[in-house]
Amino acid sequence: MLGKFWKKGQDFLGVNYPILCGAMTWVSESSLVAAVSNLGAFGCLAGGNMSPDLLAEEIDNTRKLTDKPFGVNVITIAPKYEQHLEVIKAKKPPFVIFAGSFPHAYEIKAVKESGAKVICFASNDSIAVRMINNGADALILEGSEAGGHIGHVSLMILIQQVLFQINSVPIFVAGGIATGKMMAHLLLMGASGVQMGTKFVLSQECKAHPKFKESFVKARARDAVSTPQIGSELHVVAVRALKNKGMNEFANLQIELIQKIRLGEMSQKESQFKVEEFWMGALRTAAVEGDVVRGSVMAGQSVGLVDKIQPLKEIIDELINDAEDELKRIRVIVQPCVSSQL
């Protein structure tokens, strides 16, 4: 039954299952991306703040491990963003996903000229329209429930503001999704597919540190909180992560950077790069080194819905089977009502 509801997503991505494994810096590396794509879903390679050479190498490695479609996620506010775009144009991955902030039309055009399809995030209705006008081939509506960099609007509102209003491009949804049952309802609402990140951290194939995974298993939904913005000078993009000492250190960093801006010792752009360097480093501390006290344990509120480590195939099969069962359940409920009206 799922086929009729997510065919638009299947056709656009060229996959059996338009289930996107969201790009997570230091987590979504070539082996995880390829494993997801080889199982018929869609893996997203996280550019993060990699060196250009490493990003090129990771794209090559992904291609060696899979002949299936995958995407490369680049963060527009990362210090090496412009260099990443040059790598993209040279390596020509099939899909490019812009994250962090919102790309200019000329950046989207340059990437599309390399042969890639472009997917952009939309954190509200006006941005959704702007990204389409700028040339985006598809959108991801990511609600504030998600982990990592987030907007300020929940997926519940974005569904009504954007998904119900726009039909011109495929629209994938993300934020707070961890079950096949929810996936089924989102597809019924018109989504072309779904993106999940937190769920895939707990796959056996994910190379994140065991302590990083353990913190996900133990966490409750309310433990995944978004960072506060201290002052307006930094234009900080909020990040959702598990509450710990590392999050307190970010508040102190903001105060330090704001003071430097006010004293003329640092530009706004330089301060934004410092913020991104902090997150990239803090996330590595947690996801790679296993320091989940001082590192950044980026997780969505769906962390409260995951409680075990599973093989990747089991996760995907479970999502699909549960979604199919939910659609059958809904049909049993709705069919008599429809028949009675005929």
Contact 203, 22 (CB under 8 A): no
Average predicted confidence (pLDDT) for the chain: 93
Selected residue with higher pLDDT from 42 and 2: 42
Give tens-digit pLDDT for 58-91: 999 999 999 999 999 999 988 899 999 999 999 9
Q: What is the pLDDT of residue 341?
A: 61
CA dist 214 and 45 (Å) reads 23
Give tens-digit pLDDT for 276-296: 778 778 888 999 999 999 999
CA 76 remoteness from chain centre: 14
Give tens-digit pLDDT for 189-210: 999 999 999 999 999 999 999 9
Averaged pLDDT, 165-179: 96
What residues form DSSP beta bridges with 74? 98
pLDDT band for position 266 (cuts 50, 70, 90): confident
Q: What is the CATH number of domain 2-209+307-328?
A: 3.20.20.70
Averaged pLDDT, 101-129: 95
* Cα dist from 266 to 175, 200, 233, 272, whole Å: 34, 38, 11, 10
* 224 Cβ neighbours under 8 A, 6+ residues apart: 147, 240, 241, 242, 243, 299, 300, 301, 303, 304
Burial 313-342 (b: 16+ CB within 10 A, else e): eebbeebbebbeebbeeeeeeeeeeeeeee
pLDDT band for position 337 (cuts 50, 70, 90): low
Q: Residue 96 gets which letter from DSSP?
A: E
This prediction has a pTM of 0.92
- Domain boundaries defined on the chain: 2-209+307-328, 210-287
Selected residue with higher pLDDT from 275 and 202: 202
* 89 Cβ neighbours under 8 A, 6+ residues apart: 110, 111, 113, 114
Percent of the chain with pLDDT over 70: 98
Q: What is the pLDDT of residue 1?
A: 78
Residue 45's closest CA among 92, 97, 80? 97
Q: What is the pLDDT of residue 250?
A: 84
Q: What is the pLDDT of residue 338?
A: 57
pLDDT at 342 exceeding the cut of 60: no
